[in-house]
Chain A
Amino acid sequence: MAEKILMKGNEAIAISAIRNGVDGYFGYPITPQSEVMETLMKEKPWETTGMVVLQAESETSSINMIYGGASCGKKVMTSSSSPGISLMCEGISYIAGAELPCVVVDVMRGGPGLGTIQPSQSDYNQIVKGGGHGDYHNIVIAPASAQDMYDFIDWGFELAFKYRNPVVILADGIIGQMMEKVEMHPMKPRRTQEEILEVAPWATTGKPAGRERNIITSLSLDADIQERFNRKLKTKYDLIEENEVKFSEYMTEDAEYVFVAFGCSSRICEAVVDELRAEGIRAGLLRPITLYPFPTAEIARLAKQTRSMMSIELNLGQMVEDVRLAVNGQCPVGFYGRQGGNIYTPEEIVDAFKKFNGLA
C-alpha cells in the first residue's frame, strides 16, 4: 500500500516536486505559501535527486529564472501568492510567447494591493483571463485538497510539456495551509540529458555542429509573422479546449439547482449540497478542475435541466461571468461570495441560495 503522510498543501507541493523529478525550483518568500521553499530547503533535494532550489531576489527574478531553466528543456517551477504573482505576470507572458513549459503555483490571498494574507480566490481573472500582456492563455488547474496539490505537480508538467505552455496551479490559502493525508506515489526520476533532447529538441542545450541553433524568443517585428504565430497559438488553445477539460460532479444527475465552485469553495459546497438534500431540495455541484479550459459544454448541458445555477467564490464574482457565458440565458445564474480573507460557512451559502431562489 502506498505511504500516506499528514502534511500541509504547501508541503505537498514541495515533496511532490522532489518525487516527480522536477529539475529546479526558483522562488521568493510570501505568505501564505512560504512552506513550499522552506520544505524544499529542508529536504535538500540537490543531494538526492540533483534538483536545484534557489531563493531569488524577487518574484520578477524567479519567473525569469523559470524562463531560463525552461529554455534548457528542464522541468522548472515556482510558487507565490497573489501580489507576487502580479509581478510574475510579465514573465509568464514571455514564457507563453516563447512557448516554454513550466508550472507556477499561486496560493491566493486577498487583494487588491497588499490585501490580506488570508485565503481568497480573487486571482481568477488574473490567471484565467491573462494577467500579462498579449493574446495568451495559461492552462489553469485548481486543486481542492492537499492530495490534489501533490498530484497536480506531475499532471501540470505533463500538460506543460505536451503543449509547451505555462501551467498555473491556482490554489488558495486554505488548500496551502490545511493539513491532510497525502498518498505518495512512486518516485519519478529526473529526466536524463538524452531524454531532454528527445522531449525538448527546441531547447538551448548547446548547438552541436549538426543542427541549426535553437533560439528561445518571443520577439517578432514583422506583423505578418507575429500574426501567424498568434494563429498558431490559437490552434494550440483550440486543442487544449478540445482535449483537456476536467471537472467533477456531485449529485448533479437529478439536480434542480446546481452550484459551481472550484478549489476550497467546492469542498464547502459539497456540505451545502448535503444540507439542502437533507431538506429535500435536489441540489448538486459542478467543480471545474481545469479553469482554463473551462467546462463550458458541461455547464451548458446542466443549465438545460436546472431551475438555476449559482457560482460560489471567495471574491466579488469572477468565475460567475464564465458560468453566465456558458449558461447563455438558459437559466438564472446567481452568485455568492466572501472577500478579504473571510470564508463562508455552509449555512451562509444555504441562506444565500434560498434567498436567490425565493425559497426562504
Chain B
Amino acid sequence: MSISIEEIKRPENIVYGRPALLTDNVMHYCPGCSHGTVHKLVAEVIDEMGIQDKTVGICPVGCSVFAYNYIDIDWQEAAHGRAPALATATKRLCPDKYVFTYQGDGDLASIGTAEIIHACGRGENIVVIFINNGIYGMTGGQMAPTTLLGMKTSTTPYGRDPKLNGFPLVIADMIAHLDGTAYITRQSVHTAAAARKAKSAIRKAFEYSQKGIGLSFVEIVSTCNSGWKLSPVEANKWMVENMFAKYPIGDIKDVLK
C-alpha cells in the first residue's frame, strides 16, 4: 500500500522546512558552493526575527550579484565593492531598518576596501556578511586578496608567490582594531553543526545592528569548488586543512562580552 506525500505533510510529521523567505527561483550557484547555505541561513534569521518588512539587503558584484532573486526582501544592487556605502546611507536615512550587505572577498577585500574600512571606522550600524573563498568565482577563478600563499588560480597559475602577488589580506582581524566595530566573527557552513553556529552568529549580528553600538561583521570561510577545481567533498576538506589555518573559525570581537 502506498502513501501520498500529502498524507505525510502533516504538522506533526514536519521537523524541518525550507525558509519561507527563500523564493522558488532556482539558484545559479554551482553544486557544493557555500552561497546557497548562507542564503538559507540569512533567510531563516530574517524570517524567525519577523523583520522581512524592516530589512534592506545590499548585493555585491560577484557570484552573489543575484542574491536578490533568492531572498524575498527589498534589495539594492551595488556597484563592485560599494555595498557598505549604500548601506551607510540606507541605515542613516532609515534607522529603524535592518540593513545588511552580502559581499564576496573580491568585492569587499579588493575593490571595496575603502568602503568597508570607513563603514567600520564610522561605526555604521549595519551587518556585513562576508563570503571568503579565497578566489574570484564569477569571473572564472582569478586570485583574490584572500588567496592563500601557494594557491593556484587562473592569475597565479604557479601558485600565489608573495614576491609577485603579495600576501593574503585578513580583513576581519584588520577591522577588529577599529573602534566602530561591535561584533566580528568568522564562521563556516561545511557541516550542519558549523551552519548552526553560523546562523547564531548572523542572528546576533542582526540583533546588534539595532543596538547602536557599531558594525557587525560575519565572515563565512567558504568553498569555491569550481574555482578550486575540486569536488564539493574535496573542497570542504581542503578548506578545513588550508583555509582555517589562515582564517581560524571563532569570534574575534564582541563589545558586549
- Could you list which residues of chain A lie within 8 angstroms of chain B, going by C-beta atoms? 23-24, 26, 52, 54, 56-58, 60-62, 64-69, 71-72, 74, 76, 90-91, 94, 98, 204-209, 213-219
Contact = CB atoms under 8 A, between A and B. Distances in A.
A218 B117 CA distance: 25
Q: Which of A24, A94, A206 has the most CB of B within 10 A?
A: A206
Interface in B72-89: 72-79, 82, 85-89
B79 A94 contact: yes
B75 A64 contact: no
Given A69-B93, A71-B76, A72-B56, 10 more contacts: A54-B89, A57-B114, A60-B85, A65-B86, A68-B90, A72-B90, A94-B79, A207-B55, A215-B74, A219-B77
A166 to B, nearest CB: 14
A215 B85 contact: no
B76 A207 contact: no
B82 A61 contact: yes
A340 B92 CA distance: 39
A62 B59 CA distance: 18
Interface in B25-69: 52-56, 58-59, 65, 68
Nearest to B96: A206
A216 B52 CA distance: 17
Contact of B75 (A60, A65, A213): A213
Contacts of B79: 64, 67, 90-91, 94
Contacts of A66: 89
- What class of interface size applies to chain B in its complex with A? 20 to 34
Contact of A68 (B52, B58, B73): B58
B118 A64 contact: no
22 contacts: A26-B89, A52-B92, A54-B88, A56-B118, A57-B117, A60-B85, A61-B82, A67-B78, A67-B79, A68-B58, A68-B86, A68-B87, A68-B89, A69-B93, A72-B90, A91-B82, A94-B79, A98-B77, A204-B74, A205-B94, A207-B74, A217-B68
Interface of B: 52-56, 58-59, 65, 68, 72-79, 82, 85-90, 92-94, 97, 114-115, 117-118
Nearest to B51: A206
Given A206-B74, A213-B75, A60 B114 contact: yes
Contacts of A217: 59, 68, 75-77
A207 B85 CA distance: 21
Nearest to B52: A207
A359 to B, nearest CB: 53
Contacts of A76: 89, 93
Nearest to A68: B86
Nearest to B79: A94
A69 B72 CA distance: 21
Nearest to A214: B74
Contacts of A90: 79
A204 B52 CA distance: 12
A67 B56 CA distance: 14
Contact of B73 (A26, A58, A207, A219): A207
Contacts of B89: 24, 26, 52, 54, 65-69, 72, 76
